[in-house]
Chains A and B, each alone.
Chain A
Amino acid sequence: MDSNQGSMKSDLVVYAVILILACVQVFVLKGHLFAMLSVAVVQAILAVSFFMHLGSEKPTLRLALIPGTLFVLVMMNMIWADSYRLMSMKPFAK
């Protein structure tokens, strides 16, 4: 298996950054969904790249895993328009 285990020092730095970002979410950005989710995306990228070592795997593996997953998750955003419709329009025809 690969020996892309990184160093303990880089792991500790990533660990500290993820925890600091978690505190920023709670104490600074609380209630601001888009900002909090943006921070969560940064945390997720750090975890996938450094803890799960996807950054040091072959590019073909990253290409096989990431675009498809992102496509599915982005396409799920289609539901938001309908969720707001229920709030601002008549939910049922009379």
Chain B
Amino acid sequence: MSEANLTLAPDSHASSIAGGHAATMEAPPFAIPSKKLVMWLFIISDACTFGAMLFAYGYIKNAAADWPHPFESASIMNALLMTFILVTSSLTILVAVRAAKNANKSKAILWTFITIVLGLAFAALHLKEWMGLIGQGVRLFQNPWGSPMFGASFFAVTGLHLAHVVSGAIALFVVVMGYKRGRYNSDDLEIWSLYWHFVDLVWMFVVPMVYLMNVKAG
């Protein structure tokens, strides 16, 4: 098609090409950018994954006659500290996103890095908890206290969550570095903040099911 045809046929498909692809594209569904919708769809699918993991954990626990209750008050306080760190990191990423929306780039970068550090602190406390249990003899399919499935189910649930925290910290690092260089914008930071809040949300269900229902008696 010649350039002359493009200019002479304003109502044709050619005019759409001349005006860029925007004219031929549908409006974003639900009035949000497609990237944000994709993140929401990922989050609901991940919610079902975690739901299935926690239901499976509950099933195994119910079906075991001698389910171990190994967590002492130190472990519970550690879980509470981890909750405090993760919820605080949700607040710091909110501050970062708000700063990015207000075009305050340096503040947005600073608070995103604080969020990443809090995420890594959470991961370090989680690994410390794991090391303590491994030191007491907990393995995937054996432990000194009772049902051998305890280790596999505990490490599967908490490990999946830990993997989400670590991958979220890495994703935030990549996005904030891109934001710093101008490759990504405040919308990208906001979209990844949704993922971070979701990881925080999942932990609120992991703590009661995995820790608070398995507290050592006395």
Contact = CB atoms under 8 A, between A and B. Distances in A.
Contacts of B198: 52
Size category, B interface:
35 or more
A87 B47 contact: no
A52 B43 CA distance: 11
A69 B207 contact: no
Counting chain A CB atoms within 10 Å of each CB, which of B48, B76, B212 scores highest? B212
A23 B80 contact: yes
A64 interface: yes
A35 B201 CA distance: 17
Contacts of B59: 79-80, 82-83
DSSP majority for the B interface? Answer: helix
Given A19-B87, A84-B62, A5 B205 contact: no
A43 B33 contact: no
Interface of B: 30-33, 36-37, 40, 44, 47-48, 51-52, 55, 58-60, 62-63, 65, 76, 79-80, 83-84, 87-88, 90-91, 94-95, 97-98, 101, 186-187, 190, 194, 197-198, 200-201, 204-205, 207-209, 212-213, 215
Nearest to B54: A76
Contacts of B62: 80, 83-84, 86-87
Nearest to A62: B30
